[in-house]
């Protein structure tokens, strides 16, 4: 995944938080441990806004670690992005914004991929229950995105009934908002809704009822390519990962905290009123390639069928080698009718990235 952080991001963040990265206080590490236990092991609900140390830990450690998650999704939602960049003003609401993690992620992405003029059209509404987080968001906006419009609201999603948006970002709040149902999300007047949650089996299962309900009024743009019932069983879940060590200081903190795994898992869905038409043989790549006796094996899914697809070493051909080369999260088109039943990629099949 390409890095879209500004060159001065780390130094500016340290200055805003008034910290020496080499000498973080113990209570910051304690907050990191507590938050990690909550997300990974399903511990009791955590009050993110309880104190300065928790807010500091999230803003310093989890915010920059989470930002690339959004980039990896945006890079695969071409229809939605094309709609956003051609608007006169890009109205974004970030629900449960914290310090503005995914708003700034969107700003950095637009600026690097589409240019500063497009990024400047962003009109942000950040809503959170915490004054501590909203104060951090205001400072980060001033430092990184001051040319964009910003409105800060202390409250909850129920306070958004009087405005319409082009994109609603709902991220990392389902474990806090037990009553945030699909009905609530459908009542938000937004052309597109992007949901990001921790990549655990528990959190994915909680997302499935929302997926089913939101698909009644919107098209699903990511990750599914079909609009049927999710094929994931209760012992399986759709999740992806990014490298948490994009920024060197994150790796330094992780080493001290004993978090040595570079993978940072997440679940994501994008729903939109924008029409999208995937072909019936379009598949999402869910896993990295495994090689067994020179054959290639990986999980792929279209939203209705989950397949552990195999390209036998004897069936490789110039037309189907993209199956071996595609990145995880990539969209691939496999010209083969029997794949969902057999799981075997035929020698005469073609595998390509579809034009979007």
Closest-CA residue to 328 (of 97, 105, 75, 107): 75
pLDDT tens per residue, range 263-315: 889 999 999 999 998 988 999 999 999 999 889 999 999 999 999 999 998 88
d(CA 259, CA 255) in angstroms, rounded, equals 6
What is the reported pLDDT for 192? 96
d(CA 301, CA 280) in angstroms, rounded, equals 11
**Mean per-residue pLDDT, 78-84:** 97
Longest CA pairwise span in the chain (Å) = 61
Between 333 and 175, the higher pLDDT residue? 333
pLDDT tens per residue, range 337-350: 889 889 999 888 89
pLDDT band, very low/low/confident/very high, at 161 (cuts 50, 70, 90) = low
d(CA 265, CA 255) in angstroms, rounded, equals 18
pTM (whole model) above 0.85 = yes
Indicate if the pLDDT at residue 193 is higher than 90: yes
d(CA 251, CA 264) in angstroms, rounded, equals 12
d(CA 354, CA 332) in angstroms, rounded, equals 6
What is the reported pLDDT for 47? 61
What is the reported pLDDT for 302? 92
Between 87 and 199, the higher pLDDT residue? 87
What is the reported pLDDT for 51? 79
Question: What average pLDDT does the chain have?
Answer: 89
What DSSP string runs through 149-210?
EEEEEES-GGGGTT-EEEEEEEES-TTT-TT--HHHHHTSEEEEEEEEEE--HHHHHHHHHH
What is the reported pLDDT for 39? 60
Cα–Cα separations (whole angstroms), residue 33 to 30, 42, 46, 61, 204 = 5, 13, 12, 11, 22
Instruction: Answer for the pair 352, 329: CB distance below 8 angstroms, yes or no.
Output: no
d(CA 66, CA 173) in angstroms, rounded, equals 13
Q: Quote the percentage of the chain above a pLDDT of 90.
A: 60
d(CA 181, CA 174) in angstroms, rounded, equals 9
| β-pair type (290-292, 295-301) | antiparallel
What is the reported pLDDT for 3? 93
Instruction: Answer for the pair 75, 107: CB distance below 8 angstroms, yes or no.
Output: no
- Nearest 5 degrees, angle CA 333-CA 213-CA 208? 65
pLDDT tens per residue, range 116-147: 999 999 999 999 989 999 999 999 999 999 99
What is the reported pLDDT for 44? 55
Residue 18: Cβ within 10 Å count: 7
Indicate if the pLDDT at residue 30 is higher than 90: no
Instruction: Answer for the pair 80, 269: CB distance below 8 angstroms, yes or no.
Output: no
pLDDT tens per residue, range 54-70: 898 899 999 999 999 99
What is the reported pLDDT for 46? 57
Indicate if the pLDDT at residue 38 is higher than 80: no
Indicate if the pLDDT at residue 42 is higher than 70: no
What is the reported pLDDT for 40? 59
Q: Quote the percentage of the chain above a pLDDT of 70.
A: 91
What is the reported pLDDT for 28? 81
């Amino acid at each position: 995944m390409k890095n879209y952080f500004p060159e001065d991001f780390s130094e500016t963040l340290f200055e805003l938080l008034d910290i020496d990265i080499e000498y973080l206080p113990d209570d910051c590490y304690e907050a990191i441990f507590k938050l990690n236990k909550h997300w990974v092991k399903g511990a009791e609900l955590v009050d993110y806004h309880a104190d300065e140390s928790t807010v500091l830990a999230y803003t310093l450690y989890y915010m920059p670690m989470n930002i690339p998650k959004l980039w990896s999704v945006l890079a695969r939602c071409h229809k939605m992005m094309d709609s956003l960049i051609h608007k006169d003003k890009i109205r974004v609401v970030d629900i449960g914004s914290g310090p503005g993690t995914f708003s700034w992620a969107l700003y950095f992405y637009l600026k690097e991929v589409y240019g500063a003029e497009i990024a400047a059209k962003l009109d942000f509404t950040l809503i959170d229950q915490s004054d501590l987080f909203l104060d951090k968001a205001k400072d980060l906006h001033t430092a990184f995105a001051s040319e964009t419009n910003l409105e800060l609201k202390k409250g909850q999603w129920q306070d958004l009934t009087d405005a319409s948006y082009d994109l609603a970002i709902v991220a990392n709040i389902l474990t806090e908002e037990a009553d945030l149902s699909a009905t609530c999300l459908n009542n938000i007047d937004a052309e597109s809704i992007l949901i990001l949650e921790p990549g655990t089996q528990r959190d994915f299962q909680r997302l499935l009822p929302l997926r089913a309900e939101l698909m009644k009024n919107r098209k699903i743009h990511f990750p599914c390519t079909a609009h049927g019932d999710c094929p994931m069983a209760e012992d399986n879940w759709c999740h992806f990962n990014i490298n948490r060590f994009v920024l060197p200081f994150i790796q330094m903190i992780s080493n001290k905290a004993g978090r040595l795994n570079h993978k940072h898992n997440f679940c994501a869905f994008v729903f939109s009123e924008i029409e999208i038409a995937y072909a019936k043989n379009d598949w999402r790549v869910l896993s990295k390639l495994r090689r067994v006796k020179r054959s290639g094996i990986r999980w792929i899914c279209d939203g209705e069928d989950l397949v552990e697809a195999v390209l036998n070493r004897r069936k490789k051909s110039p037309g189907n080698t993209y199956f071996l080369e595609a990145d995880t999260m990539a969209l691939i088109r496999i010209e083969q009718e029997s794949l969902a039943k057999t799981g075997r990629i035929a020698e005469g099949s073609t595998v390509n990235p579809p034009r979007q």
